[in-house]
Amino acid sequence: MAKKGDMLYAWTNDADIAKKAELGGAVTGLWKYALESKMVDAVYVIKKGKDLYDAQPVLITNPADLKDTAGSLHCGTLLLPKLVKKYLDGASKMKIGVTVKGCDVMGFIELAKRKQINLDNIVMIGVNCGGSVSPISARKMIADKFGVDPDKVHKEEIDKGQFIIEYEGGQKGISIDELEEAGYGRRTNCRRCKYKIPRQADLACGNWGVIGDKAGKATFVEVCSDKGANLVSGAVKSGVLATEPANPKGLEIRGKVEGAMLKLGEKWRKKDFTALGANMWETIEKETSRCIKCYSCIENCPVCFTAADALIKGSIMVKPGELAPNPMFHLRRFAHISDSCINCGQCEELCAMDIPLALFSHAIRVEADAMFEPKLGAASYKN
Applying CB under 6 A, which residues contact ligand SF4? 101-103, 129, 131-132, 189-190, 193, 195, 291-297, 301-303, 337, 341-347, 351-353, 355, 357-358, 361
- Residue with smaller CB distance to ligand FAD, 18 or 291: 18
Q: Answer whether 130's CB lies under 8 Å from 261's CB.
A: yes
* Nearer residue to ligand FAD within complex by CB, 197 or 364: 197
- What lies within 8 Å, CB to CB, of 241 at 6+ separation is 10, 11, 12, 13, 26, 29, 30, 33, 232, 235
Note whether 192 and 266 are within 8 A (CB): no
CA torsion angle for 361, 362, 364, 365 (degrees, to 10)?
110
Site string for ligand FAD, 119-158 (x = CB under 6 A): --------xxxx-x-------------------------x
With CB under 5 to 8 Å by kind, the binding choice for 28 among ligand SF4, ligand FAD, none is: ligand FAD
361 is a site residue for ligand FAD (CB under 6 A): no
Q: Of 235, 131, 244, whose CA–CA distance to 191 is shortest? A: 131
Indicate the residue among 236 and 311 with the shorter CB distance to ligand FAD.
236
Q: Are 201 and 274 in contact (CB under 8 A)?
A: no
Q: How far is 46 from 56, CA to CA, in rounded Å?
A: 5
* Segment lying near ligand FAD (by CB under 6 A), choices 32-40, 63-71, 341-349, 360-368: 63-71
262 CB burial (10 A radius; 0-12, 13-18, 19+): middle
Question: Does residue 189 interact with ligand FAD by CB under 6 A?
Answer: no
What DSSP assignment string belongs to 180-208?
HHTT-SS-HHHHH----S-TTSSEEEEST
Closest CB 27 distance from ligand SF4, rounded Å: 16
Which CB atom, from 26 or from 376, has the smaller least distance to ligand SF4? 376
Q: How far is the CB of 219 from ligand FAD (least distance, A)?
A: 4
CB count in 10 Å sphere of residue 271: 12
295 binds, among ligand SF4, ligand FAD, none (CB under 5 to 8 A by kind): ligand SF4
From candidates 32, 67, 74, 139, binder to ligand FAD by CB under 6 A: 74
Q: Is 141 helix (H, G, I), strand (E, B) or coil?
A: helix
Smallest gap from Cβ 48 to ligand FAD, in A, equals 8
Q: Is 37 exposed, middle or buried (0-12, 13-18, 19+ CB in 10 A)?
A: middle
Please, which residue, 64 or 275, has the CB nearer to ligand SF4?
275
Tell me how far apart the alpha carbons of residues 357 and 351 are, in angstroms, rounded to a whole number. Answer: 8
23 binds ligand FAD (CB under 6 A): yes
Interface residues with ligand FAD (CB under 6 A) are: 21-28, 45-46, 55, 69-74, 76, 99, 101, 127-130, 132, 158, 205-208, 219
